[in-house]
Homo-oligomer: A and B are copies of this chain.
Amino acid sequence: MAMNKLHTNATLADPEDLASAEPLYYRIAQDLLRSIRNGDYPVGSMLPPEVRLCEHYGASRFTVREALRWLTDHNLIDRRRGAGTTVKNAEPAPSFIYRLSSLSEMLKYPEDTYRENLVSTMVQVDPRLSDYIGSPVGHEWYRIGGLRRSDRSDLPICWSDIYILPEFAPLVAGETTSNEPVFQRIERERGVVIANAQIRIFASSIEGELARLLRVADGSPALTFVRRYLDESGRNFESTVTIHPEKRFEYALELHRDGAGGLQT
């Protein structure tokens, strides 16, 4: 029987136990986690129903549910009304997270900057662009190219090429300057929801015409970002390539240990 798999719990419910400093629901959660890790409840198997856990731990349903809630919050189990509790993971997953309160925060540009659009045209995907935006060679996209500027300096911050699906072109065609990120505009006006954003960051050098526009020497170092924005169905509806000359921009991120960290008792 499933219950045999649970550890003895004599100490668990004992209020004299030293470990009692921690709430009962937490000790129950840890005990269940231990059982899961032990393989008593392998991934894919079912946990005993709440009532049985109540009997086993001598706790009320509320307390047992708090324990199960903890496991749910840490991505270890799935619960379905009527069906029961399934083990989803044996390890309390991701330990570090980088959290943005909004996607435009990902861009990291100060508020007082704006885009100066210099190129607006339909383009056909060539092999290099295909690698960047992940769209097959030959497909058509609408491209907006321009410089990002700040009022505080004559030097442009970066060159950016924005590629969007042709259907969204009317939203931005004809704009010469803009404060609002294009993806935000698409989200707002067309109800597209960004579910996912992919970012690649690498070093490159600035050559020729681009060097002149960015006012740097030919072959100067640059920080290049390629970003892809995907909607809920996984469709890539916008991609951007931005090229930042040395010393004009820097990207920073801060990772925090997730709550799931301190698990072991």
Interface positions of A (Cβ within 8 A of B): 93-103, 106, 193-205, 219-223, 244-247, 249-258, 261
Number of copies: 2
Known contacts A95-B99, A99-B96; is A106 also within 8 Å of B205 by CB? Answer: no
Sample (25) of A-B pairs whose CB atoms are under 8 Å apart: A94-B99, A94-B103, A95-B100, A97-B97, A97-B98, A97-B99, A103-B255, A196-B256, A197-B254, A198-B254, A198-B255, A199-B253, A199-B255, A200-B251, A200-B252, A201-B201, A201-B250, A202-B246, A202-B247, A203-B249, A204-B221, A205-B246, A221-B221, A221-B222, A223-B223
Tell me what chain A mostly uses at the interface: helix, strand, loop, or mixed.
strand
Known contacts being A195-B257, A200-B252, is A219 close to B219, with CB within 8 Å?
A: yes
Question: A106 and B96: CB pair below 8 A?
Answer: yes
The 7 A-B residue pairs with the shortest CB-CB distance, nearest first, are A221-B221, A203-B223, A98-B98, A94-B99, A202-B250, A201-B251, A93-B101
Minimum distance in angstroms from A260 CB to a CB of chain B = 10
Closest B residue by C-beta to A200: B252
Min Cβ gap A160→B in Å is: 15
- Beyond A221-B220, A222-B221, is A198–B100 a contact (Cβ under 8 Å)? no
A167 to chain B, nearest CB (A): 22
Bound form: Cα–Cα A98–B97 in Å? 6
B98, B204, B257: which contacts A194 (Cβ < 8 A)? B257
What is the chain B residue whose CB lies nearest that of A187? Answer: B94
Task: Check A255–B96 contact: CB distance below 8 A.
Answer: no
